């Protein structure tokens, strides 16, 4: 049982849906990002997705691309992102942390070394958006052997022929991308998402969490009502990019969490 598994067990027992928030590691700088990260559980966040900045983030929209550029310009690296996890774990040993990013920084570090460092830092899961199931031997299977959940994305174009491959080695939860395209591109619609979540859940016992296109408490509630939880990223990252103070960002996050939890 990982922290992610424990969290969903607890939420189910409480009759609540999950609220997952994404922030970019090192955005706008290391200290501010760490302050924000440390405040997320108190704002109602159940699982933290922590972005690893990368120079070619092909799945990300302009908001998160800009966040990655800010972080890189401020000197953020994979190692410094792991340092954020280590610092967070000094005060919080229960909130799950999922690193989300691209394979290149992991490959450059070396898979074996990266997994050792991630586990020792306190990482619980990985979302690596540019490694398809056909490459599971590369990172997915070693990660799970090391005790990390490997979380796969399903999308509106993941048909019934493709879905078994996506689910085969997935653990922790399934991340359903509610729209086609990049992050922050459009609004998620519960009427479209609900049947797709039901289709995925008919093929797996894993929780299905929905992200992309959620930016208000009401939209978080609507999406969480038809899934096991909701993810918000771009709307939070946008506030960071606008230079809003951390308490203001956390107040916004708390509203989103309340929306998801009332579903």
SS3 state of residue 128: strand
Rounded alpha-carbon distances, angstroms, from residue 106 to 52, 123, 131? 10, 14, 11
- CA 57 to CA 204: how far, in whole Å? 29
6 given a catalytic annotation: no
Say which of 27, 60, 124, 196 is annotated catalytic.
Answer: 60
Q: Going along 27-92, which residue ranges are E strands?
A: 47-51
The per-residue DSSP string of 94-137 comes to SS-EEEEE-HHHHHHH-HHHHHHHHHHHT--EEEETT--GGGTT
Pair type for strands 18-24 and 97-101:
unpaired
Residues making up the chain, counted from first to last: 263
Say which of 27, 46, 49, 228 is annotated catalytic.
Answer: 49
Contact indicator for 45, 92 with CB cutoff of 8 Å:
no
| CA angle, 154 then 54 then 185, to 5° | 50
Contact indicator for 85, 122 with CB cutoff of 8 Å:
yes
60 given a catalytic annotation: yes
Residues paired with residue 100 on neighbouring β-strands, in sequence order: 51, 127
Structure tokens that stand for 181 in this block: 């395209």
Residues belonging to the active site: 49, 60
């Amino acid at each position: 049982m990982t922290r992610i598994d424990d969290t969903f067990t607890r939420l189910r027992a409480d009759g609540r849906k999950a609220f997952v928030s994404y922030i970019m590691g090192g955005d706008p700088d290391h200290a501010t990002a760490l302050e924000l990260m440390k405040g997320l559980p108190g704002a109602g966040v159940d699982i933290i997705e922590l972005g690893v900045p990368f120079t070619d983030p092909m799945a990300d929209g302009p908001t998160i691309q800009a966040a990655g550029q800010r972080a890189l310009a401020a000197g953020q690296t994979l190692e410094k992102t792991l340092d954020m996890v280590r610092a967070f774990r000094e005060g919080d040993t229960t909130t799950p942390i999922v690193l989300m990013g691209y394979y290149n920084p992991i490959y450059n570090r070396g898979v074996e070394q990266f997994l050792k460092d991630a586990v020792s830092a306190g990482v619980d899961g990985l979302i690596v958006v540019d490694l398809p199931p056909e490459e599971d031997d590369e990172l997915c299977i070693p990660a799970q052997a090391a005790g990390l959940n490997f979380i796969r994305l399903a999308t509106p174009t993941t048909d019934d022929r493709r879905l078994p491959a996506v689910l085969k080695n997935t653990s922790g939860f399934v991340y359903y991308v509610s729209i086609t395209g990049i992050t922050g591109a459009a609004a998620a619609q519960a009427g479209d998402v609900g049947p797709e979540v039901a289709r995925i859940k008919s093929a797996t016992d894993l929780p299905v969490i929905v992200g992309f296109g959620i930016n208000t408490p009401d939209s978080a509630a609507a999406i969480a009502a038809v899934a096991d939880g909701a993810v918000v990223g771009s709307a939070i990252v946008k506030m960071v990019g606008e230079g809003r103070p951390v308490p203001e960002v956390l107040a916004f996050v708390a509203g989103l969490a309340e929306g998801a939890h009332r579903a």
